[in-house]
Structure 1
Amino acid sequence: MTHTTCGTDGGSDAVRTRWAPVAVLALAFLMVTLELSLSSVTLPAIGAELGVGTGATQWVLLAYALPTAALAIPAGRWVDRVDLRALFLLAVPAVGVTSVLAAVAPNFPALIAARILQGVAGVLVGALYLPMVAATVHPDQRGRAMGYIATIMPLGSMGGSSLGGLVADAYGWRPVMLMKLPVLIVVVWLGARFVPSTGPRGLTRPDRSLVGDGLVLGGAVAALLVAFDRIEADQPIVAALFAVAGAVLGTGWSRLRSARPVIGLLRRRAVGLPMLALLVTGTFVGLSYFLLPFYVADVLDRGAATTGLAMVFFIGAVALCSPVSGRLADRLPGRFLGAGGLVLVVVGLLSMLTLGPDSGLVDIGWRLAVIGVGQSLFGTPVNASIMAAAPPGMLGTSGGVGNTARTLGFTVGPAIAALAHGLGGGGAAGFRTGVVVLAVLQIAGILALVAAGDAGREATSGEVR
């Protein structure tokens, strides 16, 4: 059966939906997702070998996350101008090369530099997401494709932590950085065979406006991320200085001519409001990254293993429901399906208020499973609706803005949870205060999606129906 598939420039060609490129992209995403979960289990070993404290080792994770937020928008704008196959064959090998640099780092500063380069390579892989789906999948099947890709990420997180921990215990942290190389070689080979070329553009050099965006906007986002990191470290003055610097740089970027297309994109109701929903709802990670570990330790008097096992319920729910969410996204309005998913997230969060001092693993786990189902029903449909509403030639930019919004939400969430926990007096009362605050932010995401309007009516992506 022949379908009409849109290219990244808004044009269309009558071709069959090609699932092989989607599978290759999913494998590439798995390698990027593994990077955080693999490296997180190496922090104690890194600190011991390189002679740095626990607080400093957190920069192994932050150094990788900073480029994701700082460069996602410029990378998205660049991918709108280049050949997808050429970029894939640059980005995926770069993940491998930078992993080797991290593994052989002679000291901690060199490791941090390698981690930053790993983050840049990961940003380039992430920038391929929406354009690749648009170039290889018929509009009526894009939700399904995005659901399949979304299934890979939680599985990567779950498997990466377990496998990385075993390797780190047996051989040290350096081999952990190299574990994905055999798979990366296969992914590059498959990409050379199946990822389509989208034109004769090749890899054009980023122009001056993209470099300027990367410096100014990247500096603004990086400053904000560091500000929230310092809030969690209980350094309010340092956090305030970085926040002011981020605001100044962000204001300066908004006045650049190169910022106008991005700002114009966000002013489209069917794009800007779902992006806002991605930002505010990303804060839900404050539950798993801060509130739940402290509740398990301080109130239930149990170890970190309980929290880790409970998170398997969440990850499993996301992995199982993402394909279903993708199929539904091809049939139902994405903003309403996403809002329904957030309702489930709110229900799951508020059910946490009924946890008691005798609660066990299953009590916590089923509540996290409800949140996981809600998250799976939210993520894919909202991304699909953003893709439908994006103007011609701006799918990469849209993906970059979405990645930035999610990263900011994931970073801000734990800081908001920590602040609410403290204001609530800590313990069970602080846990409940934090849960209520996170639930309110999810409700704000629901309102943003409801107000987004009909993305289909506003879409000008040139799809042939």
Structure 2
Amino acid sequence: MSRRWWILTSISLGTFVSVLNVNLVNVALPTISRVMDLEISQVQWVVLVFSVTVAATLLIAGNLADLVGRKKVYSGGFLVLMLGSLVCGLAPNFPVLLVGRFIQGLGAAMPMANGMAITTTTFPVEERGRALGIVGSMVGVGSLTGPVLGGFLIDVLGWHWVFFINIPLGLLAFSTALALLPQDSQSRQHEGFDGAGAFLFAVSMVLFLLALSGVADRTTVSALTTAGVAVFGIFLWWEKNQEAPLLDLGLFKIPLFSTSLAAAFFAYLSMAALLILGPFYLEEVLGCSPSQVGFLMAPYPLLLTLVAPLSGWLSDHWGPVYLTTGGLLLNVFVLLSLGFLGSDTSYLDLALRFALLGLGMGMFHSPNNSTLMGSVPFSKLGVAGGANALVRNLGMLLGTTVVVLLFSSFQGRYLAGIEVPSRVQEIRAFLHGWQAAFTFAALAAALGACFSGIRVRIFNRKEADEMKFKIVPDR
């Protein structure tokens, strides 16, 4: 096997570990909520602290890799991830757990920002689509394994082990990256790091998060939102005037790049309802154990894993637009149907709906990534990969916040005036919030389908062929 396929093996393993970490924690949220006596609006911070840290540092990690080398940043990220996992597993209380999640977010951003760029620069054009498809399928494998392994670990060893398991896995990913990844050229050693841009971007992300979190009153939320918009505006102005900016704003003038990013943002925004509220529905409404939750959530990532490589191959022959748009339209209808679930839904019914969501995301994922990476010059592939990871995390971040706010608001409105709700009333209140959250998710998927569909007017086979010839590896 040639060296580039060994490099792909390392990147695939790293992608699997990163995705597994996210999905292990999602299954543990109900248990953490009970053990630490937390409401859903509080336990969401386990997800949000990680997500906002990743979102705020992805661009920084990408730029740092250009300065010191992608191998160092990519492999070093797993050491930071292991440290954060140790802190989380040993956490005696909720604040320490959040500190650990912050450290995990720093570590996870480092391989996330660089994996796709390393793959793209390693493979020639005739093999690149296949390689990216394999890496993309690891997202599904990690998503599939996470709920099942997480449920098993919680039942047998306790919730702490959804964090401890990252230590041996992270060590394996670090070792293979150190041994297999090549030392790459440091093309920007002569440039300074855009520290001001990094600071402004991180501050704007934190301000937006606090505004959306529901932890403040309306006046404070307005102030935080205004401050976030102002800081982000200053960030954009700063970046526009830099010779070596943190984020190259010129990429957004490329129609296929900007529409592909927008479609990805709304696609991942739409998945937050299932990934955050799904385990709570299965445990609190249907009475499932953590292990059962893992198996019942598995059809979604399983279909994603199986369909993503096939859809990538089909997009090479038929073009991506109809696959990506069709997948998101399918998800619109499935998400709407999930909003009307009751307390007596059969496991087979749930498995079928989750599988259809996986089919839809599998149709979208690989063709959209291929379009996005193929739309930019070779010299900007690292930035494109970082931006792709950024919008994915921002979509999940914003989706988590809005879903929890909607759920809590509609659930609380249903229970208003009821001092001691009965079990039936609690379930009905849950389903009231559940329906609101999934209606929002369906709307997000519809917006993603719109951005995907408008590419019909700017994409044809001639343009796709021309893009492929632009992207050739540096030799």
1:440 is aligned, of 446, 462, 469, to 446
The match for 1:138 is 124
Distance 1:169 1:429 in 2: 29
* Aligned residue identity for 2:104: Q
Q: How does 1:27-66 map to 2 (within 5 A)?
A: 27-43=13-29, 55-66=41-52
- State the 1:241 CA deviation: 3.2
Q: How does 1:64-463 map to 2 (within 5 A)?
A: 64-105=50-91, 108-199=94-185, 201=186, 207-209=192-194, 211-230=195-214, 236-256=218-238, 257-258=241-242, 259=245, 262-289=248-275, 302-303=286-287, 309-349=295-335, 352=338, 359-416=345-402, 426=432, 430=436, 433-434=439-440, 437-453=443-459, 454=463, 456-457=465-466, 461-463=470-472
CA shift in 2, pair 1:416/1:61, >3 Å: closer
- State the 1:163 CA deviation: 2.6
CA shift in 2, pair 1:101/1:360, >3 Å: closer
Distance 1:130 1:175 in 2: 29
Distance 2:141 2:261 in 1: 25
The match for 1:9 is none
Distance 1:286 1:164 in 2: 18
- State the 1:376 CA deviation: 1.0
Single out whichever of 399-408 and 109-118 deviates more from structure 2. Answer: 109-118
8 A contact 1:95–1:118 mirrored in 2: yes
Distance 2:225 2:177 in 1: 41
Distance 2:65 2:377 in 1: 15
Distance 1:175 1:428 in 2: 29
- State the 1:171 CA deviation: 3.9
Q: 1:24 and 2:10 equivalent?
A: yes
Distance 2:30 2:340 in 1: 35
Q: Deviations over 1:141-181 (max 9, x none)?
A: 22222222222223323323333343344444444422132
Q: Deviations over 1:11-44 (max 9, x none)?
A: xxxxx68221112111112221222223344556
CA shift in 2, pair 1:229/1:263, >3 Å: same
Distance 1:18 1:88 in 2: 16
Q: Deviations over 1:161-214 (max 9, x none)?
A: 333343344444444422132233332332233212222x399699341x2222
Give ranges in structure 1 of 5+ residues lacking alignment. Answer: 2-15
* Aligned residue identity for 1:92: F
- State the 1:386 CA deviation: 1.4
Q: Deviations over 1:204-236 (max 9, x none)?
A: 699341x22221111212322333332xx7954
Single out whichever of 422-431 and 355-364 deviates more from structure 2. Answer: 422-431
CA shift in 2, pair 1:247/1:356, >3 Å: same
Give ranges in structure 2 of 5+ residues lacking alignment. Answer: 415-431
* Aligned residue identity for 1:444: C
Distance 1:392 1:437 in 2: 35
Single out whichever of 30-39 and 372-381 deviates more from structure 2. Answer: 30-39
CA shift in 2, pair 1:373/1:265, >3 Å: same
Q: Identity of counterpart residues, as a percentage?
A: 24
Q: CA RMSD in A?
A: 3.8
Distance 2:116 2:104 in 1: 21
TM-score by length of 2: 0.79
Distance 1:49 1:380 in 2: 39
